[in-house]
Structures are given as C-alpha cells and as structure tokens.
Amino acid sequence: MTLSTLLVFEAILVIEMEEVLVAKIQFLGANLSIYLNKESFVSIFSVAASITKSAF
C-alpha cells in the first residue's frame, strides 16, 4: 500500500467516526427533548389537577 492510500483510508475512518459522533449527539438530543416535553406536560397537568381539585 502506498502512503497516499493509507492517508485516504485514515481520512475515511475519521469521517466515519465524526458521523457516528454526530448521530449519537442527535440521538441524545432527541431523547432529552422527549424527556423534557414529558416532564413539562406532567407539571402542567399537575397544576391543572391542583386547581381543579381546589375549586371543589
């Protein structure tokens, strides 16, 4: 193998590693967003339930 071939393979490996990292970051971001939306919904629902309960 020539040096240039090795450099090309190394560049491809680095690009693949970056793509995996970006995919993991996007996955974690999506999961965090889902979690925060659920927590927000639960909090709003809890406040609404408290208001409804205190009205009776």
- The answer to pTM > 0.85 is no
As for how many domains the chain has, the answer is 1
Question: Alpha-carbon distance 26 to 8, whole Å?
Answer: 27
- Enclosing domain of residue 20: 1-56
pLDDT in tens, 13-43: 999 999 999 999 999 989 888 888 887 777 7
17-53 burial: b if 16+ Cβ within 10 Å, else e: eeeeeeeeeeeeeeeeeeeeeeeeeeeeeeeeeeeee
